[in-house]
Structure 1
């Protein structure tokens, strides 16, 4: 996103917080285990309204939040006294090797170039530092997917069509995708974005207990 470009989530923070954060479980499935115990500042890249700040603190780390939406950061401030920054995820205002831990949360479908975001996250990691990415499962969550009430998914052939999708006839009328669209990454593109960073991949997870996974998570380490 270029400087001056309006953030897609601006104007949605209160609705988003009520819909996805208030009253939710303290920790997203498997996230605390992926992080593991640690210390020092943890960069929450794409922190939104602060959904994962409690998890960062529970792991022994302190919160540093970044988001492109000042509206989201307004709500995030109610959940931390730590530093929060308004910045483009592909051009972050931190020096090289500033963090032992970087979390990249739910933004693979919201940015123009996910690979560039991962390269920025890698730049910020100290040797031995950990990156945890957690977000949309490319196979089972996207403009090619119809969600059925029984938990099954119907996959359409447009799975292989990457890029921004502004609408899909299967998206819920009151959902987030109707409001901001979605940049779809097929699974191979998603995984290659990690391989291109040079990080050592330690673990993949499909968090949650549903029969068809909603999300895909990765733990990687800078050599």
Structure 2
């Protein structure tokens, strides 16, 4: 979502798609329920290679995808005929109140300022519109976390360090952290981002998955 992120994701779209999208379940756990039924265009911020396009369509909405990586969008184009565009999540190329639904997907670890992304999402959302954010769990998934063989997690004292982290020995050799790098948003900053943007939070979920959740999602609305 910035010049650093673009350089890291461009050239890795095929690797990313093979590892995280191809063969995955059609709907990420809980996402369709958070969206609920709707209609009209849904802006998918950080759409990547289009993993969630089927879910958007299943909810009754139409796909509008935005990502900073043109390489990611190259593969996304194979999954939709809807509009796709390269754009900065912290400076969206849309007028105020353009969409009834906005999704922010898995971007908190890829941007310099997660709060700015949420504020932009709220800006382009129409009053009464639905906002869904889905991504890394600030407590149990991030540059400060070690994945243990028994399914547990170990958190390092770097948890309170917001922003980009230096590579660490526990990152592994072939995962997304080592390939892309990783920024971190502590839990309080993550939650306050929605309040600062003026959104009304309706529900948080820790989607189904491993015993220690690796993702956290929220449904909110923009006050009418």
Q: Render the CA deviation track for 1:121-164: whole Å, top value 9, x for unaligned.
A: 00111110010000000000112211112211111211111110
Question: Tell me, which stretches of 5 or more residues in structure 1 are unaligned?
Answer: none
Supply the distance in 1 between the matched residues of 2:153 and 2:6 (Cα, whole angstroms).
Answer: 33
Match of 2:184 in 1: 184
Q: Render the CA deviation track for 1:169-196: whole Å, top value 9, x for unaligned.
A: 1112100110121111110111111110
Match of 1:65 in 2: 65
Supply the distance in 1 between the matched residues of 2:3 and 2:210 (Cα, whole angstroms).
Answer: 39
Supply the distance in 1 between the matched residues of 2:48 and 2:75 (Cα, whole angstroms).
Answer: 8
Q: Pick the structure with more helix per residue.
A: 2
Supply the distance in 2 between the matched residues of 1:143 and 1:209 (Cα, whole angstroms).
Answer: 20
CA RMSD in angstroms comes to 1.4
Are the equivalent residues in 1 in contact too, given 2:2–2:111 (CA < 8 A)?
A: no
The secondary structure found in structure 1 opposite 2:171 is coil
Supply the distance in 1 between the matched residues of 2:55 and 2:17 (Cα, whole angstroms).
Answer: 17
After the TM superposition, list the runs of 4 or more consecutive aligned residues in structure 1 that deviate by more than 6 angstroms: none
Match of 1:162 in 2: 162
The secondary structure found in structure 2 opposite 1:170 is helix
The secondary structure found in structure 1 opposite 2:8 is coil
Q: Say if 2:201 is the partner of 1:201.
A: yes
The secondary structure found in structure 1 opposite 2:183 is strand
User: For 1:3-18, what aligned pairs fall within 5 Å after superposition?
Assistant: 6-18=6-18
Are the equivalent residues in 2 in contact too, given 1:46–1:65 (CA < 8 A)?
A: yes
Are the equivalent residues in 2 in contact too, given 1:166–1:180 (CA < 8 A)?
A: no
User: For 1:71-82, what aligned pairs fall within 5 Å after superposition?
Assistant: 71-82=71-82
TM-fit CA distance, 1:210: 2.1
Are the equivalent residues in 2 in contact too, given 1:130–1:220 (CA < 8 A)?
A: yes
TM-fit CA distance, 1:208: 1.2
Question: Tell me, which stretches of 5 or more residues in structure 2 are unaligned?
Answer: none
The secondary structure found in structure 2 opposite 1:138 is coil
Supply the distance in 2 between the matched residues of 1:177 and 1:62 (Cα, whole angstroms).
Answer: 31
Paired residue total: 223
TM-fit CA distance, 1:211: 1.5
Are the equivalent residues in 1 in contact too, given 2:144–2:159 (CA < 8 A)?
A: yes
TM-fit CA distance, 1:95: 1.1
